[in-house]
Structure 1
């Protein structure tokens, strides 16, 4: 019996705003605004629907008449100072982390994960959405290490509770590992490693053990260490650091 030729699946189509964000030139929200304003064309025709289906790499997309292609992929790390909001814009007009990039001439970049306003330390940025998604994946992303100053000397039962986990506001929270780094007369420093990322996870975990946070510094993500990078300064990651943080998926597993 003759074997039928293999039939290739049709190319995947995605919403126009999503495709623009995947090209690394803007956020999906910003793309949707450009589309609604009539600034985006597909094959020369103005499209105002952010969900208009297109095949990435197969159709000509232009913004303000200029054809767009995937730009240079940027991956960098910042030593976030305390007091800055991890956001491109803040509705309360507070200073954001983007102040640290003023005058740098960088393309559009987005935070890879978050640090709250009162936290400091290692924060990643990129215009590579697939890379960022692998890092922030709660199941497969790299572990994140924090040095945390707490407002009293924790007893062994408090540390054990951080490892056992608590339920807060319906969420199960726990630390992957906890180590007492040093202690003074009234406070102590802990090293806490997380293997998942939930909103204000460390602060909520410590509050459940009646421990208040005086300082919270992220010192590493996977094998990438903050090191001696000065506060408020940033640097690009090397290709080796990019690959080590988030290896690309095997070709047969890509969708």
Structure 2
């Protein structure tokens, strides 16, 4: 028979650092700093262990003496400019996607997935971790559509090779679909649709054929289109858009944090 300490915690219990993140207050790393500084209390007692299990429905959590209240759920789409990194704080001092949110009245939000520094376009941000995890789950196969400018004009034979994919260090790099959008001079634009999230997948796939990527723009996630949203600007998703994306993920609905 398992000792009490060996038992699995109740499903609604999470570690203290994760609880602060799920409540939309800060990242887990920032939560660990607050806990280490003795600024967090659970049930009136200072808690210094970030792995402490807490019940979000029953336990009273306070920071600097102020009881923590769950923030409203926020769902954003951002047109990420090229040159920004998808992180909260960058040790190299580079600009981040959070620079685009300055001046907005928002709780702590996190990116849903990533776009690398040289990529641009549609990036989702939210404080609803359950909704985000549903979209990121590999089992969801949520389609992501990219427009990619390359430094060559591929013929149909080369496009067929792209579609077949390539083995890179034992990993098959392939796309759901690849189509030629337009070409002119020595460059062309491709529309590439992915339904999985491998690291730098498009750049590595094209790089295997010695194709240089000039621009990479994500233009859609599922049925959500980037549309006319200006570069560097963000907007709130509508309730219909939130529900639509939730239906594409491995969850239905967006509650639960």
Task: Tell me the TM-score normalised to structure 2 length.
Answer: 0.90
- Alignment map for 1:14-25 (pairs within 5 Å): 14-25=14-25
Which whole-Å CA distance do the structure 2 matches of 1:195 and 1:69 have between them?
Answer: 36
Q: Secondary structure at the match of 2:139?
A: coil
In structure 2, what is the equivalent of residue 179 of structure 1? 179
Matched, 1:93 2:98: no
- Alignment map for 1:182-197 (pairs within 5 Å): 182-197=182-197
In structure 1, what is the equivalent of residue 48 of structure 2? 48
Matched, 1:151 2:151: yes
Distance 1:228 1:153, change over 3 A: same
In structure 2, what is the equivalent of residue 243 of structure 1? 243
User: After TM superposition, which residue ranges in structure 1, 4 or more long, deviate above 4 angstroms?
Assistant: none
Q: Which runs of 5+ in 2 are unaligned?
A: 1-7
* 1:10 positional shift: 7.4
Which whole-Å CA distance do the structure 2 matches of 1:141 and 1:129 have between them?
Answer: 18
Q: Secondary structure at the match of 2:77?
A: strand
Deviates more, 1:112-121 or 1:152-161: 152-161
* 1:169 positional shift: 3.5
Which whole-Å CA distance do the structure 1 matches of 2:67 and 2:216 have between them?
Answer: 44
Cα RMSD over matched residues? 1.8
* 1:101 positional shift: 1.0
Q: Secondary structure at the match of 1:219?
A: strand
Per-residue CA distance 1:81-118 (angstroms, 9 max, x = gap): 11111111111111111111111121111111111111
Deviates more, 1:74-83 or 1:20-29: 20-29
* 1:69 positional shift: 2.3
Indicate conservation of the 8 Å contact 1:82/1:120, yes or no: yes
In structure 1, what is the equivalent of residue 37 of structure 2? 37
Which whole-Å CA distance do the structure 2 matches of 1:213 and 1:10 have between them?
Answer: 48
Which whole-Å CA distance do the structure 1 matches of 2:172 and 2:9 have between them?
Answer: 41
Indicate conservation of the 8 Å contact 2:9/2:53, yes or no: no
* 1:162 positional shift: 2.5
Which whole-Å CA distance do the structure 2 matches of 1:220 and 1:118 have between them?
Answer: 18
In structure 1, what is the equivalent of residue 75 of structure 2? 75
Which whole-Å CA distance do the structure 2 matches of 1:203 and 1:51 have between them?
Answer: 38
In structure 2, what is the equivalent of residue 108 of structure 1? 108
Which whole-Å CA distance do the structure 2 matches of 1:115 and 1:196 have between them?
Answer: 14
Indicate conservation of the 8 Å contact 1:148/1:214, yes or no: yes
Which whole-Å CA distance do the structure 2 matches of 1:68 and 1:141 have between them?
Answer: 35
Which whole-Å CA distance do the structure 2 matches of 1:206 and 1:64 have between them?
Answer: 51
Which whole-Å CA distance do the structure 2 matches of 1:249 and 1:211 have between them?
Answer: 37
* 1:163 positional shift: 2.2
Which whole-Å CA distance do the structure 1 matches of 2:245 and 2:122 have between them?
Answer: 13
Deviates more, 1:207-216 or 1:9-18: 9-18
In structure 1, what is the equivalent of residue 4 of structure 2? none
Q: Which runs of 5+ in 1 are unaligned?
A: 1-8
Indicate conservation of the 8 Å contact 2:134/2:251, yes or no: no
Q: How many residues align?
A: 244
Which whole-Å CA distance do the structure 1 matches of 2:169 and 2:46 have between them?
Answer: 46
Matched, 1:135 2:135: yes
Indicate conservation of the 8 Å contact 1:154/1:211, yes or no: no
Which whole-Å CA distance do the structure 1 matches of 2:132 and 2:209 have between them?
Answer: 32
